[in-house]
Amino acid sequence: MPATSHLTPAEVEEFGRELDKIRDEVLASLSERDARYIRGLIATQRKLELCGRALLFASWLPPAWMAGTTALAAAKILENMEIGHNVLHGQWDWMGDPKIHSTTWEWDFASPADQWKHSHNFVHHTWTNVLGKDRDIGYSAMRITPEQRWHPIYLAQPLYNALLALFFEYGIAIYDLELERIPSGKKDLKEALTQLRAVAGKIRRQVVKDYVAFPLLAGPAFIPVLFGNLTANIARNVWGHTIIFCGHFAEGAEVFTEDRLEGETHGEWYVRQLLGSCNIDGGRLFHIMSGNLSHQIEHHLFPDMPSNRYAEIAPRVRALCERFGLPYMSGSLTRQAGSVWKRVLRLAFPGPARRLAPASPARRLEAAA
C-alpha cells in the first residue's frame, strides 16, 4: 500500500504548510552565529590542508605520511561535502559575502561549479527520484530500480560501481556533460565540446597541483607525496560516493513515474522529496564530515537552508512525519550502505518489475471520488 494512501489532499497541503513554517523560522533566525560557523569551518579546512601537505613533505617518516595523508583527506572531504556542495546550493548567499557565494565559489572537484549546479541544483532537486526526469537515478549508468529496462551491461554494475566510488569526481564530471543526449539532438555538439573543454581544464589544473607541483616541491619525497595526494583524493571520492548513494538509493527510497509531476502541488512536492530520501544516523562530527547529507531528508526538503541547521530541525521533521503517518527513513551507515550494495547487486540481474510509486494522493482521491 502506498505510504500516502491514508492522506487526503487537504492533509498533504497541511503537511507542506507545517514544513514551510519550519523553513521560515530557520531562515528568519539566521545570524552571525551561522556566519561564524561557515567561516570557521573554511579556516579549519585550510589549516588541515596546510598541515597535511607540510607533513607529507616529511613523508620519508611513515608516521608523517600517515598523518599527512589523513589530514589532507579530511580537508578534501570537508571542502567537497560541507563547504563546496552547500555553498554552491546558495545556502550561504544570505551573508552577502562575495567570497562565500554560490556565484563565485569554485571547488576542488572535477566538475566545474556552473555545470554541477545545473545538473544537481536544478535537474536533480526539481525532479527528485522521478524516472525519466531525474538523471541521478543510476547516474545514467546503473540500474537501481526494477522499472529501468534491463540490459546485459548491468551484469557488470557491481564492478563499475566500485570503480565509480574510486574515481567518483571524474564519473560525476562526465555525467554532468549529458553526452547521451547528443545523438538524439537534445544537446548541441558545440555546447558539449565547450563544456568538455571546461572539464578538461579543471582536471588538468587538479592533476598539475596534486600530482606534479606539490610532489616536485617535496624533492626527495616526490613519490610518497604523490601517493599521499592520490590516497587523499580516493578517500574523498569513496566517502562522497558512499554518503550520496546512502541518501538516495538505500532501501525504502521510492522512485516515481512522470505522471506524479502533473499538477503537483507544493505539499505533494514536499512528500515526494521525503519519500525519495534516506538519512544516516551519527554524531556531530559524522554529520559535518558528510556535509550534513546524512540529513538527506532535510536537505531535499530545504536545499537552500544552511546545513548546520539540519540537525536542529531533524527532530521536528521526524515528529511531523509521525503526526501525518509518513515514513522517516534513517539508519546506521553500515545498514544504509549494505542496503545500497544489496540493491546494486540484485538489480544487476533481470527480474520482475515492481510497481512504481503512483500518482499523487490528491489525484488518486479525486479519481476515486
Report domain extents, the chain.
9-368
**Phi, then psi, of 87 in degrees rounded to 5:** -65, -45
Rounded CA-CA distance 138/145 in Å is 8
Rounded CA-CA distance 232/227 in Å is 8
Model pLDDT for residues 262-311, shown as the tens digit of each residue: 999 999 999 999 999 999 999 999 999 999 999 999 999 999 999 999 99
Length of the chain, please? 369
Model pLDDT for residues 247-258, shown as the tens digit of each residue: 999 999 999 989
pLDDT band at 368 (very low <50, low <70, confident <90, very high): very low
For the full predicted model, state whether its pTM sits above 0.85: yes
The secondary structure of 242-264 as a DSSP string is: HHHHHHHHSTT---B-GGGGTT-
Closest CA to 143 of 334, 312, 366, 347: 347
Residue identified by cell 620519508 is: 60
Residue identified by cell 515492481 is: 354
Model pLDDT for residues 75-98, shown as the tens digit of each residue: 999 999 999 999 999 999 999 999
Q: What are the angstrom distances between the C-alpha of 346 and each of 114, 131, 139, 144, 355?
A: 35, 19, 17, 9, 17
Q: Find the largest Cα–Cα distance for the chain.
A: 78
Which position has the higher pLDDT, 360 or 2?
2
Closest CA to 121 of 173, 73, 85: 85
pLDDT of residue 359: 47
pLDDT of residue 354: 53
Model pLDDT for residues 118-174, shown as the tens digit of each residue: 999 999 999 999 998 998 888 878 999 888 889 999 999 999 999 999 999 999 999
